[in-house]
Amino acid sequence: MWEQIRANRVRSIILVILMGALLVLIGWIIGMVFAGNAIAGLVIALIVWGFMSLIAYFQGDSILLGVAGAKKIQPSDHPRLYNVVEEMKIASGLEKMPDVYIIDDPALNAFATGRDVNHASVAITSGLLQKLNRDELQGVIGHEISHIKNRDVLLMSMCGVLLGTIVILSFYASRVMMFGAIAGGGGNRRSSRNSNGGGGGAIIIFIIAILLMILAPIFAQLIYFAISRKREYLADASSALYTRYPEGLASALEKLAQSSIPVKSATQATAPMYIANPFRNKNVSVNDWTSTHPPIQERIRILRAMGGGAAYSNYDQAYRTIKNTNSGIISDNTAAAVGAVGLRAAVAEGPVETAAPVDDKMTRTREVNDMMYRMNDYKTIQCECGAKLKVPPSMQGGVIKCPRCGRTHQA
């Protein structure tokens, strides 16, 4: 597996270098246009990138979780979820249990973040937790755990910072240039500076600079998407291996594809970190080439074409068949090292005779709703008629009337 991780890192480093080249080019343009000194622009660009990279490395996970509105939970808050995360942690051989977060959002999605395996977190939406059965939840958690195991989370955080730096520099530089062109002051200074035969050259540089400021963030975004897409396939393959049940993730992705609810807190910089495109809806194709992820229907078909095994070799063969290509995504040595891995049976959903928790839609909905009420500091009052009254913090301290029987309670 380490060979596969190294191969992905090499490809990712090449793509990151391309993003870095765009940043250097923007810095050069900024220096030439605004200061008449390309070195000064390069220094400014690198300082901004360095400052943001330090923040991303040490506080990036906290920032991403904060932006997503994620709240950390404990095992007692949702035992089923914690149990699934622990199962996937053991199956993957991860050294440390990641922290578990919940995002109060009806959308169906999840992501992993952190700078290394000892500082990692998994966050899922309340909508996903409510809609997925245990097999499907295992598939999603296995996918996210594999991003941590494969060291994807730090790379994606740093790429997001690099993209953000390019966007910020491009945005402000282009606005300043446009304002200067309209006002005429900046253009006059540049013209006087280049009056010895450089007037025409200055105009050309100005036009090139404007085009670069517009196109650079687009190119950087496409490179960022390319990094994300390549790693999603390996994460799907790893999830199938950890769970030994590819249909679990395939069924979960199918439910994600059918949902048209976008993630409210998602941004262009954070979108590639989710298991599926958080912006998709029924009016926009999930197979669009500008999507942050591989076509979700293609991912589903690959998982369901794995045949009689859950090994990397099964996924790689399915990938080649569905993509109609001779090039796989998993090296022969990695596939051989894992060997053959058989499939397991699905977990029965609904009431069972054993002591295992019941996994049906009604139970899942009740579990998630109760957890969200507790996380948002609601107070529960058990009425004598059997009704459970959920009292928000703003109404606590007053008198509450039961809508079923009319009894009053002190909140």
Rounded CA separation 355/361 (Å): 18
H helix runs in 244-341, sequence order: 246-258, 296-304, 312-323, 332-338
Rounded CA separation 164/394 (Å): 39
Task: Give phi and psi for 119, each to the nearest 5.
Answer: -135, 65
Strand-pair partners of 116: 119
For residue 402 the two structure tokens come to: 């039961």
Closest by CA to 244, choosing from 149, 359, 317, 142, is 142
Active site residues: 144
Contact, 95 vs 116, CB < 8 A? no
Contact, 90 vs 113, CB < 8 A? no
Rounded CA separation 234/21 (Å): 27
Q: How many CA atoms lie within 13 A of 302 on its CB side?
A: 33
Which sign does the torsion angle of CA 55, 58, 61, 66 carry? negative
Contact, 275 vs 140, CB < 8 A? yes
- Strand order, beta sheet including 119-125: 70-72, 99-103, 119-125, 110-116
**In Å, how far from its chain's centre is CA 253?**
14
Rounded CA separation 334/357 (Å): 36
- Read off the amino acid at residue 157: S
Rounded CA separation 53/60 (Å): 9
Closest by CA to 292, choosing from 274, 268, 272, is 272
Task: Give phi and psi for 30, each to the nearest 5.
Answer: -60, -45
How far CA 227 is from CA of 67, 260, 326, 352, 386, in Å, comes to 22, 25, 21, 43, 54
